[in-house]
Amino acid sequence: MDVIDSSQQFVTTSLLTIDGLVAMPQTFTPETLAPLARISRVEDFHCDHKGTAHGRLWRGISLLELIQSAQPQSGAEYVRIHAPNYSVPLLLTEIEGALLVDSIDGQPLNSDGGTPWRLYVPGAQCQISVKWVNRLQLTATRGATPTERLERARERGAVP
């Protein structure tokens, strides 16, 4: 199933791939992830340009356990969380407690909320809460964040 997000003008897929430095690359659908245990966390969610949503109920799968199912290789130190036109690098040692959520406040994610999967990292800045997650790529190096790539493009004069 594909979802068209008219506000972003891209199509998200329901497939979730785990690849890169793994022994067993994986591809999941919402149906194959449905039987996995869900974890719930209640926390405030703060975004500088939108304010704070108090007491949000985040429910999803342990990101670390999901990554472990692909058997990370010894050189894997980072996971790049990918969505259409966006990715964020996180240290594997810093994702304890992170969830790949499929519902917020007791409701399944909708297109604006990031369906089918959204990253939740307790206490992280809102831009880390990647919506429309479609790939978890394990890497040996960090790589650049979207903000860092934009800064470099500005330095080159490629964007205003």
Q: Is the pTM here over 0.85, yes or no?
A: no
In a domain, 4, yes or no: no
Domain harbouring 20, CATH code: 3.90.420.10
Query: For residue 103, with 0-12 CB atoms within 10 Å meaning exposed, 13-18 middle and 19 or more buried, which class applies?
Result: middle
Given a cut of 50, whether residue 1 has pLDDT beyond it is no
In a domain, 131, yes or no: yes
In a domain, 42, yes or no: yes
In a domain, 2, yes or no: no
Mean pLDDT of 35-53: 87
Question: What is the extent of the structural domain holding 19?
Answer: 15-155
Q: What's the pLDDT at 13?
A: 67
In a domain, 62, yes or no: yes
Max Cα–Cα distance, the chain, nearest Å:
49
Q: What's the pLDDT at 99?
A: 96
In a domain, 143, yes or no: yes
Mean pLDDT of 82-88: 89
In a domain, 7, yes or no: no
Phi/psi at 146 (5° precision): -55, -40
- What Cα–Cα distance (Å) separates residue 130 from each residue in 73, 99, 117, 127, 159? 24, 11, 9, 7, 23
In a domain, 6, yes or no: no
Name the DSSP letter for residue 92: G
Note the pLDDT tens digit of each residue in 121-138: 998 887 888 999 999 999
How many domains does the chain divide into? 1
